[in-house]
Chain A
């Protein structure tokens, strides 16, 4: 009890009991011990000469990267366009598969709680547990290198993300609105259309645009494993140590991400 009585009969309140307070201090102590131990473990294999050298290496690399090789840009425009298309089409593919899965996964809309819902949840977890790059790696070996592998990889990874956030949004809707629509004698599809969809639409747009924004970033590296886009150029530039080209590519990616960030912020602002 954090409330105790002093000798003169006055009641004293503390946030925690003394025992509990000591337990919390002990917890902090254990955390610090763990931290020190981890640091020790980490630095055991570090070659400090390389670390001390870091500032010189950075300036060296910076010097080699600067100035960017601007003339290389005409070889990058199409790969960049491909990258954006991979992200957009992949997001679209993800939406088409994720929306029905989300409705199956949401407790309040699922047609079968004990069969379909666990399956839908499993698909969502499976999709989320594998990184886009790994999906791309698998798909390149299945359907060969190129844009298609990239699009499908992005799409498969997006299913989990969109599906999870959307089904959570569906579960959070106001049931009284749904009840009111059902009370008019509406059938299942009409209840969906009038009672549920209007409530989850803002969340849906927010999630979709956010995922598209992430996908732009992810699709820039898919080329590393042969799944098309600007990553292909990045890889070949890195392999040939063409640092001015690398810096140009990185600048271009930064610019693209900034633009996609701006677009998604605008869209989210417009729908909510």
Chain B
């Protein structure tokens, strides 16, 4: 369980990125964080695992205040928080396997990671995860040889290799095409469902958020302006989050996009669909 209590962040430049954000994420709940660019979504996610230092408030993960930790304690807390990034953030020149195994860095001593002598249990887990995300044949490839969707799957496997209690996901689909975006979101949702993993997902695509997540939090100028079920996200709320815009027209065109995508990709032969389903993608 994750509980944020009046979390605040003020950058040295004076920008007030977060102004006392509070909410609680129950076990197994997937929260979509939406809001305009510059609303503080990325800062909020990075404050939770302290890649960005919050300037006020607390972050409770299972009753431990992450805001007060430092050094080894902070690293031990971080290793239980998996993170998935917008531009994948894989180490491009390492192999897929090394990238997935880097999820164990918080658990293994330095010499093991230096010599790449990971425990067999860790390697087993990495193979199982690569299998789960449909990349078992690519273990030996270098990360920069993969396509965008494949890289993001490696990113997911790396986060899961950490054995996380919480998943932080920063714009997972921003660099992907509509079909791959849906596959990736579906994969993340399935994984969260399977293991009751709570997740906070930054997402700029409102339609995608409504389609997948359990609960939506709208952030504007560092403040929570909406917190509720996706079904409650109507035009009035969207205007409150993003400002004035013709939301009905936008939703209609998004629905058309989805229909187009379904028409283009949905007609795939049954075997391929089945294969994809087996690989956990469809």
Contacts and interface: CB of A to CB of B under 8 A. Distances in A.
Interface string A188-231: 01100111001101100000000000000000000000000000
A181 B87 contact: no
A190 B75 CA distance: 12
B102 A177 contact: no
Q: In this complex, which of A174, A186, A187 has the most chain B Cβ atoms within 10 angstroms of its Cβ?
A: A186
Contacts of A180: 83, 85, 89-91, 155, 158
Interface residues of A, number: 21
A189 B90 contact: no
Interface residues of B, number: 32
Contact of A184 (B78, B92, B110): B78
B114 interface: yes
Q: In this complex, which of A182, A184, A195 has the most chain B Cβ atoms within 10 angstroms of its Cβ?
A: A184
B85 A184 contact: no
B162 interface: yes
Contacts of A190: 105, 110, 113
Contacts of B76: 185
B81 interface: yes
A177 B106 contact: no
A198 B94 CA distance: 7
B51 A183 contact: yes
B40 to A, nearest CB: 17
A172 interface: no
Q: In this complex, which of A180, A183, A193, A194 has the most chain B Cβ atoms within 10 angstroms of its Cβ?
A: A183
B264 to A, nearest CB: 32
A46 interface: no
B103 interface: yes
Given A180-B83, A190-B113, A185 B91 contact: no
Interface of A: 174, 176-177, 179-187, 189-190, 193-195, 198-199, 201-202
